[in-house]
Structure 1
Amino acid sequence: MTAKGKLWRLKYLIHSEHLQGVPFKRLWLQLIAVFFLFSVVGFVVDLVYAKGQMQYAAVLAIATISGLNAMLWVFVLARLPKAFVLLLIVLQCFLGSIDTGIANWMIGTFNLQPVPSERGIDFAAIGILSVLILSYIFSISYLRSLGRESFRMHNELAQAQEVQQLILPESRLALPGLVVESEYRPAREVGGDFFQMIPHRTDGSLLIVAGDVAGKGLKAGMLVALMVGAIRTAAQYVSDPTAVLGTLNLLLVGRSDAQATCLALHISNDGAVTLANAGHIAPYLNGEPLPMEGALPLGMIEGAESSVMHFRMKDGDRLMLMSDGVAEAMDDDGQLFGFERVHQLLRTAQSATEVASAAQMFGQEDDISVISISRTAVPGNSGNGRAQITH
């Protein structure tokens, strides 16, 4: 592992995002556990510096201040902007003076006398044992509540994963003149890639829609389910790829953080293809990327236009669609799989499974979905030659 990779992982470990997502009904358990854990400082100060002779009230005051200081750190990290951490750092410089000042004030105000060393040591020992036990009790309560929440979320993710498996099409579809194979490998339990393959009931044509929603996890999975439902509904009324993308764009516009790259293509039974793209990776035809113009992803602005291309697939042609999870695969040294490797891979790869496996073995970072569309000979069809592309 490179030094850069180690530093990145260390930075990840000290992030406080997990605290920010904890509801206060559970966070207070952690706050109290931290309070008791760090209040032990007051009793340790009595043992180490005062040999157990510090006044009881002064010991408890220092213990309380130390515990409240630790609680403040947790609360700031969990609920306040990180700029407040600078104020906490400054506060630590004066914490010793605050402890001493309050202890001396209590001693002078209430005329407190030093306690015998033996009794003070016993008091400090009992205090240390008591606060550690209390800290342990509240820590276990917090972990149990966190465990129940994690178990609930795990069940929800498992159910969402089952739903995604149900809405995915079969991995292989055979039609007269076409063989379609797909491979889908989510990076997490719930993926953000989606695709649908919808044959026309009468004319033998095929509509394929593939895309990648923004975000990850359960939120992305819910958006995928919404997109798939909209695709299947739209396909009942229109087969034009541009119209399908327009319908999906209207669905996402105005929804907070709801964007998706997407492409749609319609293949007639004679091999004629209409391809519309909205920010997705351009397909590869016979190993070469199609020269498509750029376009905005879905959900960015109302009335956004997709880029459109028309061409005809001849017998033996292969069209390969893939998500950016292929090119964005990354190895342990931080090197991307990249489009150059994709280009080289497609010169030899014969299936969607080969492409997906190569990217996954290189180092999967994002969802990987690959669709391979092969044009096969149709009885009575003598079309040969290379595909002809027009915009």
Structure 2
Amino acid sequence: MIVTEQALVPSDEEQRLAAVRRYAILDTPPDGAFDRVTALAARLFGTPIATVTIVDEDRIWFKAKRGLPEGVEQTGRVPGLCASAILHDTLYVVTDALRDPRTAANPLVHGEPGVRFYAAAPITTHDGHRLGTVNILDTRPRSFEEADLAALGDLAAIVMDELEMRRSATRTVALERELRARVEAERARLARLANTLQRTLLPPTLPEVPGLEVAAHYQIASADRVGGDFYDLFPLADGRWAFFVGDVCGKGSRAAALTSLTRYTLRAAATYDPDPLEVLKNLNTVLQHEYQDGDARYCTALFGLLSGCGGQEEVEVTLAGGGHPPAYAIRGDGTVESVHPAGGQLIGLLPDAQFAVTRLRLSPGDTLLLYTDGLSEARTPDGAMLGEGHLPDLLSGLAGASAPAVVASLRDLLAQTVQSQSDDTALLVLAVPAAGAATTTTATAAAAADRSPAVDRSPAADRSPDEPSPS
């Protein structure tokens, strides 16, 4: 009998080959699970040779083999015993290959390894495609009982179950990776949106104030959520400067809307009447009118005025507060004073909220720090909260430092507590240089402030990498 290539091609060959590719088994490394099948088959049936084969387009590839020479990884499909076996839905058995017309002319029978007995069970997919076979071979004729047929079929079913399980696991891993990639992409997109929105809620740069060093830092607790802290510094028409730091309740888009309303209301109110008490009262009225649906929206803030900048040795500060943590004056001699307008209430919560005001002077070498509660509520690695009681001692060591240096030190401190930090942090530092000390230049301030991935604000420190610096 002459075996032709066409005679060994199943009628569903195109779909069958697609199924072979589907299981991605070809040319994979040796595998213990399939090796155990061939070992079990050889031991169970007492044959010197057992194989697990996959029939490819033009070859028969051995996924596992026992009793074949080392280095034999595949053989041609024509002529081939396995290629003949996949033509059948049932087991394919040749008890004496020299006498069976299907195999009498096969070179594997007349040449090496001299096959006289061959039995194969098809490895069949759930949709009926035969990927290959589980085979047992002997060099002598032998009979094959009904129970043997069932056992060999069970081994082929075990191989198919293993392939299905691996395909399922591969698909699960691929799906998990795809979902993880989608989640990461969405998280990155939300982080970009949050960062873009956050930047619209902060001044793009801090202005240069005559006779002062100024620097700021903003750090959000979550990269994918917009924070509710805010700050600003801007000139008034009469030569004074206004500044504020605050924190709105909540997080996310609703907090962002409240932050935007608060920041621009404070700016507008200061332009109309810069008296700090009146500015906070104006903001309280706006928030009361804006949120009348029972959804309480409020904030805390310190609003201040700077007088005498650039024209006198001392700068006069008028500071009004509404429910916000105190500011700290770091004196040039190392003493630290809490600057807290006593009695100020939350802004926007009550229609007749009361606010308080205090005044102080900053002499050469003095620094004023304003911050939000992300600083005081940050925890050290041992779990202790920095708290108001610890801050004066920490700040005392910063006496005489430039505004950017104070920001850099506090930023480094926050970096050690960031894992425990649950709230955003805004810092605004105003410093009067010591007598004879030059005001920190814009470039120096920018370099000091640009060391953190968080949002720092020194004069001109927040240009994007593609934005040319001013000449």
Q: Shorter chain as normaliser: what TM range? A: 0.5 to 0.7
C-alpha change, 1:146 and 1:170, in structure 2 (3 Å) is closer
Give the alignment partner of residue 362 of structure 1, picking from 412, 416, 439. 416
Give the alignment partner of residue 328 of structure 1, picking from 354, 374, 377. 377
Q: Distance in 2 between matches of 1:132 and 1:336?
A: 51
| Alignment map for 1:365-380 (pairs within 5 Å) | 365=421, 366-375=423-432
Larger relative contact order (CA 8 Å, sep ≥ 6): 1
Consecutive unaligned residues of structure 1, counting only runs of 5 or more, are 1-115, 379-391
Larger radius of gyration: 2
Q: Distance in 2 between matches of 1:248 and 1:140?
A: 53
Q: Report the CA distance between 1:375 and its aligned residue.
A: 4.2
Return the letter of the residue paired with 1:243: E
Matched, 1:318 2:367: yes
Give the RMSD, CA atoms, in angstroms: 3.7
Return the letter of the residue paired with 2:276: P
Give the alignment partner of residue 296 of structure 1, picking from 345, 348, 353. 345
Give the alignment partner of residue 308 of structure 1, picking from 331, 356, 359. 356
Matched, 1:157 2:191: yes
- 1:209-242: per-residue Cα shift (whole Å, max 9, x none)? 2112233455544543343333334344232223
Q: Distance in 2 between matches of 1:197 and 1:229?
A: 12
| Alignment map for 1:279-290 (pairs within 5 Å) | 279-285=323-329, 286=331, 287-290=336-339
C-alpha change, 1:245 and 1:335, in structure 2 (3 Å) is same
Query: Could you tell me whether the CA contact under 8 Å between 1:182 and 1:371 is conserved in 2?
Result: yes
- 1:27-46: per-residue Cα shift (whole Å, max 9, x none)? xxxxxxxxxxxxxxxxxxxx
Matched, 1:194 2:230: yes
Return the letter of the residue paired with 1:200: L
Consecutive unaligned residues of structure 2, counting only runs of 5 or more, are 1-149, 310-314, 436-471
- Say which structure is richer in strand: 2
C-alpha change, 1:121 and 1:345, in structure 2 (3 Å) is same
State the aligned residue count. Answer: 261
Q: Distance in 1 between matches of 2:268 and 2:151?
A: 82
Give the alignment partner of residue 169 of structure 1, picking from 203, 211, 214. 203
Q: Report the CA distance between 1:266 and its aligned residue.
A: 1.9
Q: Distance in 2 between matches of 1:315 and 1:130?
A: 79
Query: Could you tell me whether the CA contact under 8 Å between 2:325 and 2:371 is conserved in 1?
Result: yes
Q: Distance in 1 between matches of 2:397 and 2:338?
A: 15
Alignment correspondent of 1:259:
298
Query: Could you tell me whether the CA contact under 8 Å between 1:178 and 1:374 is conserved in 2?
Result: yes
| Alignment map for 1:119-158 (pairs within 5 Å) | 137=171, 144=178, 147-148=181-182, 150-158=184-192
Q: Report the CA distance between 1:145 and its aligned residue.
A: 5.4
Q: Distance in 2 between matches of 1:157 and 1:117?
A: 59
- 1:29-79: per-residue Cα shift (whole Å, max 9, x none)? xxxxxxxxxxxxxxxxxxxxxxxxxxxxxxxxxxxxxxxxxxxxxxxxxxx
Task: Find the residue that maps to 1:175 and give its secondary structure.
Answer: coil
Percent identity of paired positions between Structure 1 and Structure 2: 26
Q: Report the CA distance between 1:261 and its aligned residue.
A: 1.9
Matched, 1:207 2:255: no
Q: Report the CA distance between 1:276 and its aligned residue.
A: 1.7
Give the alignment partner of residue 269 of structure 1, picking from 308, 325, 329. 308
Query: Could you tell me whether the CA contact under 8 Å between 2:207 and 2:234 is conserved in 1?
Result: no
Q: Report the CA distance between 1:343 and its aligned residue.
A: 0.3
Matched, 1:237 2:272: yes
Task: Find the residue that maps to 1:297 and give its secondary structure.
Answer: coil
Q: Report the CA distance between 1:187 and its aligned residue.
A: 2.9
Query: Could you tell me whether the CA contact under 8 Å between 1:356 and 1:369 is conserved in 2?
Result: no
Task: Find the residue that maps to 1:341 and give its secondary structure.
Answer: helix
Return the letter of the residue paired with 2:414: Q
Query: Could you tell me whether the CA contact under 8 Å between 1:164 and 1:225 is conserved in 2?
Result: no
Return the letter of the residue paired with 1:280: H
Query: Could you tell me whether the CA contact under 8 Å between 1:279 and 1:295 is conserved in 2?
Result: yes
Q: TM-score, normalised by structure 2?
A: 0.46
C-alpha change, 1:358 and 1:136, in structure 2 (3 Å) is closer
Q: TM-score, normalised by structure 1?
A: 0.55
Query: Could you tell me whether the CA contact under 8 Å between 1:324 and 1:368 is conserved in 2?
Result: yes
Task: Find the residue that maps to 1:183 and give its secondary structure.
Answer: strand
Q: Report the CA distance between 1:197 and its aligned residue.
A: 0.8
Query: Could you tell me whether the CA contact under 8 Å between 1:241 and 1:274 is conserved in 2?
Result: yes
Q: Distance in 2 between matches of 1:165 and 1:322?
A: 18
Q: Distance in 2 between matches of 1:184 and 1:126?
A: 59
Matched, 1:185 2:229: no
Query: Could you tell me whether the CA contact under 8 Å between 1:260 and 1:298 is conserved in 2?
Result: yes
- 1:160-208: per-residue Cα shift (whole Å, max 9, x none)? 313433543366543344433222233332433210112113x111111
Task: Find the residue that maps to 1:363 and give its secondary structure.
Answer: coil
Return the letter of the residue paired with 2:410: A
